Amino acid sequence: MLSKLKKEFKSYSSPEKAKIYARFFKTGKGEYGEGDEFLGLTVPEQRKLAQKYVDLRFDEIKELLYSKYHEHRLTGFFILCYRYQKANEKDRDRIIDFYIKHKHRGNNWGLIDCVADKLLGKHILEKDKSILYALAKSESLWDRRIAIISTFEFIRNKRFEDTIRISEILLNDNHDLIQKAVGWMLREMGKRDEKELSKFLDKNYKKMPRTMLRYAVERLSKKRKEFYMKR
């Protein structure tokens, strides 16, 4: 089954798009995505393949996750998401254990933002969330991004406590990919409850990195946005 999938990857591949994606995901020397390689598939194409091959064995999914190609890895993570949606509780536990064991293969924001909330976030919505706090304190940039992006599922359910607490842990993070992610999640919280966002900003806006703050206030009124940005 995996060999058929790889043939389909080739049929969708586009050298022109691969070059564009390599620049977009910062794969140059010294950049965060250094060395990552692309086939040139779009995300919708990868979702389509993931749904078609959702019943791949775990060893085959693992092979995708350890591929040098970005699209192989993302499709592997998509398969886990689609598998999770139709799984029973026991199988969901197994899928999440597998995801956590191999999460380091999500070594780019594009491999995290489409899946972390739909897997880890959804799985622990009603469960212990200590793993997120461990990830938020990790030295790994990608672990920290998983921690905050996973809370998007909580935000959708109007549960903001963990987003707020993890944002405060990451408040002084010096990487722009974390600052953008935190600001994004705060903005999403504000879309659902502006009072909660205002409360967070009133307490922290003077300490927040400018990138994080700019993302967080994006949907506020011009007057309030100017107030926070002037600081």
The 3-state secondary structure of the chain, one letter per residue: CHHHHHHHHHHHCCHHHHHHHHHHCCCCCCCCCCCCECCCCCHHHHHHHHHHCCCCCHHHHHHHHCCCEHHHHHHHHHHHHHHHHHCCHHHHHHHHHHHHHHHHHCCCHHHCCCCHHHHHHHHCCCCCCHHHHHHHCCCCHHHHHHHHHHCHHHHHCCCCHHHHHHHHHCCCCCCHHHHHHHHHHHHHHHHHCHHHHHHHHHHHCCCCCHHHHHHHCCCCCHHHHHHHHHC
Residue 49 reports pLDDT greater than 80: yes
pLDDT above 90: residue 1? no
Query: Do 1-111 and 126-231 have matching folds?
Result: yes
Look up the CATH number of domain 1-111.
Answer: 1.25.10.90
Architecture in CATH of 126-231: Alpha Horseshoe (1.25)
pLDDT value of residue 28: 84
**What's the pLDDT at 35?**
83
Instruction: Name the pLDDT band for 29 (thresholds 50, 70, 90).
Output: confident
Can you give the pLDDT at residue 17?
A: 95
Q: What average pLDDT score do residues 55-73 get? A: 96
What's the Cα-to-Cα distance from 31 to each of 15, 176, 178, rounded to whole Å?
A: 21, 12, 15
pLDDT at 34: 84
The region of weakest confidence among 9-23, 154-168, 176-190 is 9-23
**Domain segments of the chain: what residues?**
1-111, 126-231
Mean pLDDT of the chain: 95
